[in-house]
């Protein structure tokens, strides 16, 4: 299994800095294994769950299945769920959530 890449971590740090600048709270999800990376808390109690991916990274099949299970569960709860592998995708999420 490939470890989380530097580009993925850099993208997550950039997105968090962008969210802070827009006064959007964020929470890092660390447990259980396979859970999505972050929740961004938009106005009106609208959470967006984001899985950051390095465009060149790979996830092993078992981990990907587990991550997809979590994404489906969050969708069932009414959360906006996104896999983000670039700044443009995160900006699109902000626009969708009307935060910019």
User: Top-level CATH class of 6-96?
Assistant: alpha beta
pTM: 0.83
Per-residue pLDDT at 21? 97
3-class secondary structure per residue, the chain: CCCCCHHHHHHHHHHHHHHHHCCCCEEECCCCCCCCCEEEEECCCEEEEEEECCCCCCCCHHHHHHHHHHHHHHHHCCCEEEEECCHHHHHHHHHHCCCC
Q: What is the pLDDT along the chain (100 residues), one digit of tens a residue?
A: 344 567 888 999 999 999 999 999 999 988 777 788 899 999 988 899 999 987 666 666 778 888 889 999 999 999 999 999 999 999 999 999 987 5
Per-residue pLDDT at 58? 63
- Break the chain into its structural domains and give their ranges: 6-96
Per-residue pLDDT at 41? 95
């Amino acid at each position: 299994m490939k470890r989380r890449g530097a580009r993925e971590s850099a993208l997550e740090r950039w997105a968090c800095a962008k969210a802070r600048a827009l006064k959007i709270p964020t929470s890092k999800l660390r447990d259980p294994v396979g859970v999505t990376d972050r929740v961004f808390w938009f106005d009106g109690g609208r959470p967006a769950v984001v899985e950051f991916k390095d465009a060149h990274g790979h996830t092993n099949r078992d981990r990907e299945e587990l991550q997809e299970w979590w994404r489906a569960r969050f969708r069932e709860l009414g959360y906006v769920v996104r896999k983000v592998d670039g700044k443009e995708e995160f900006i699109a999420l902000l626009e969708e959530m009307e935060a910019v």
